[in-house]
């Protein structure tokens, strides 16, 4: 499968919990995946915990069931190995995934570690890799956790991340925790287009 990098989005994120999204966290991810595909984007997913399976659910609904097309023409998944690998191996694996996309979307970004919720350091690393690849960075701050931290950074240093200010208002709105999930999805599509 050949992916058009400009129309390919890597979804970076993990979620042991969905914070303020609560029970709508899972359907949000599924509807986001469907909306990206409806708007002719292709998706690459690292199959992050609590995120990847819902990306796939949305893709199956949109591509396989509705369009009757091959899902592999629209979605690539790169599940992480269960065995511990070296940091170098994992960084190379992340770089390979992210290099396929022109834009990277960051959602949630938390994990359970030692019986407490922690930042997903892999999502932070994926941000740095995406930045070095000059991908468009789209952190959904309203989803909280690492995505919120990255959103604050992008808004504060916007000119370091975007060539023009024409999408600043849209990016800024991605951090409003009271924004409806459907509105967030619309904002994401408008920023990525």
From the centroid of its chain, how far is CA 63?
19
**In the predicted structure, residue 83 carries a pLDDT above the cut 90:** no
- First-to-last alpha carbon distance for the chain, in angstroms, is 22
What is the share, in percent, of the chain residues with pLDDT greater than 90? Answer: 84
d(C-alpha 159, C-alpha 167), whole Å: 11
Counting Cα atoms < 13 Å in the Cβ hemisphere of 33 gives: 30
Average pLDDT over residues 154-171: 96
Average pLDDT over residues 18-32: 96
Average pLDDT over residues 123-134: 97
Reduced to 3 states (helix: H, G, I; strand: E, B; else coil), residue 105 is strand
Average pLDDT over residues 149-173: 96
What is the pLDDT confidence band of residue 80, given thresholds at 50, 70 and 90? confident
d(C-alpha 190, C-alpha 93), whole Å: 29
Tokens of 191: 């920023």
Per the CB < 8 A criterion, the answer to whether 12 and 47 are in contact is: no
Q: Which among 19, 9, 20, 30 has a CA at the least distance from the CA of 119? A: 19
pTM over 0.85: yes
Task: Delineate the domains of the chain, giving CATH numbers in brackets.
Answer: 5-192 (3.40.50.450)
**In the predicted structure, residue 132 carries a pLDDT above the cut 60:** yes
Helix (H) or strand (E) holding 10: strand 8-14
Tokens of 179: 């924004």
**CA angle in degrees (0–180, nearest 5) for 144-160-15:** 20
Q: Which among 4, 35, 163, 159 has a CA at the least distance from the CA of 105? A: 35
**In the predicted structure, residue 127 carries a pLDDT above the cut 90:** yes
- CA gyration radius for the chain? 15
| pLDDT of 38 | 95
From the centroid of its chain, how far is CA 145?
13
């Amino acid at each position: 499968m050949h992916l058009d990098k400009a129309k390919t989005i890597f979804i970076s994120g993990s979620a042991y919990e969905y914070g303020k999204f609560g029970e709508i966290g899972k359907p949000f991810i599924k509807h986001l995946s469907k909306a990206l595909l409806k708007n002719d984007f292709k998706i690459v997913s690292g199959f992050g915990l609590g995120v990847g399976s819902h990306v796939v659910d949305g893709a199956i609904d949109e591509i396989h069931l509705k369009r009757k097309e091959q899902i592999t023409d629209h979605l690539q998944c790169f599940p992480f190995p269960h065995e511990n690998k070296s940091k170098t191996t994992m960084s190379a694996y992340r770089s390979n995934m992210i290099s396929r996309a022109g834009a990277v979307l960051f959602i949630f970004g938390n994990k359970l570690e030692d019986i407490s919720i922690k930042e997903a350091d892999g999502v932070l690393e994926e941000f740095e890799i995406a930045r070095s690849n000059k991908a468009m960075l789209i952190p959904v701050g309203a989803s909280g956790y690492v995505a919120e931290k990255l959103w604050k950074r992008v808004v504060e240093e916007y000119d370091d991340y975007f060539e023009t200010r024409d999408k600043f208002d849209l990016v800024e709105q991605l951090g409003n925790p009271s924004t409806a999930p459907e509105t967030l999805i619309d904002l994401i599509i408008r920023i990525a287009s």
